[in-house]
Structure 1
């Protein structure tokens, strides 16, 4: 996790996971995903699942300097969408990967861009004590939980409820 700059337009000074938008370069990427992960990412989305996963991996590298091995499995754990009409909208997907699958030194963040500061690994219980955005707090809870075979939690802020992506 890292802290966004105080002058950032979106979530200034907040502790967040690396992330960002799907770029054109991500659209042609084919990230290895399990059939279940691919199917869950496709639910209610116009963006190809491989592109969403590729964007997550690219943003991880850009914002932290960390890179996963190409064959490292990603686990899709949570999705959140901001309400319609909000000034800044996002449709975020949160993934987990095992730190043992990093191709880079897990303690080195020197190759990161400057979008996030205070980069580092945080224990879930310690991160939960921070002033976190609500979706980040929910994603941490999902990261700590045993995977739910019933599906991935999906927060649709405009409906203020969590459903499941089966």
Structure 2
């Protein structure tokens, strides 16, 4: 695989206590030896896998979010991005965005999806809102076309403080008060997204025009989808 090729990715912003005086967001720290954004604090997320769209069986995102996710999708789909968001949240935090369902075996899917279904859950993307898109600048060791999807801790099936089923991909998983998050070691784009989240409080409605931060070899610019 060409490591400099732009891969589709999904990032999940989970907000807790959005209507309280001190809302918080779920973040973790990438490893110091990670090839992409080492030691940075980030939201859960990662690249879209081939079976992420296949795994979605319960419900769909709001039509406006699906339409915007489909804009210039370049080979992916709204279902694939939503599925990746739910899978990555499960892998990296051990938390499930879904609904209760009989445990089922899905041998045709990845191990992560198999464990998700075996836990008695079905993925439920209707709780996700599409709020931001960014493409990694040229010259980085990895490049992603990342869609940032927003949800709330109330939509989780699990105790939001229970990270016992998380992988070791992110360390220091915790709920960071939104007012304190920018003091962490953050990627630039994460700082920008935190500003968008703060501006959407307390209702956290998806924006009418999703901000899109894009790069090519000569220009970086914001657009609206």
The interval holding the TM-score normalised by the smaller chain is over 0.9
Q: Which has the higher strand share?
A: 2
| CA–CA distance in structure 1, aligned partners of residues 48 and 89 of structure 2 | 12
Q: Offset of 1:161 from its aligned partner?
A: 1.3
Matched residue, 1:100: 154
Which SS does the other structure have where 1:97 is aligned? Answer: strand
Indicate whether 1:77 and 2:77 are aligned: no
Aligned alpha-carbon RMSD (Å): 1.6
| Structure 1 segments unaligned to the other structure (5+ residues) | none
| Structure 2 segments unaligned to the other structure (5+ residues) | 1-26, 99-122
What is the count of residue pairs matched by the alignment?
A: 165
Which runs of structure 2 are paired with 1:51-66 in the superposition (5 Å)?
Answer: 51-66=80-95
Deviations 1:100-124, CA, capped at 9 Å, x for gaps: 1110110111100000000011122
Which SS does the other structure have where 1:120 is aligned? Answer: strand
| Pick aligned residue for 2:210 from 152, 155, 162 | 152
TM normalised by structure 2 equals 0.69
Which runs of structure 2 are paired with 1:15-164 in the superposition (5 Å)?
Answer: 15-30=41-56, 32-45=60-73, 46-69=75-98, 70-71=123-124, 72-84=126-138, 86-146=140-200, 147=205, 149-158=207-216, 159-164=219-224
Tell me which structure has the larger Cα radius of gyration.
Answer: 2
Which SS does the other structure have where 1:9 is aligned? Answer: coil
TM normalised by structure 1 equals 0.92
Q: Offset of 1:85 from its aligned partner?
A: 5.0
Spell out structure 1 runs of 4+ moving beyond 6 A: none
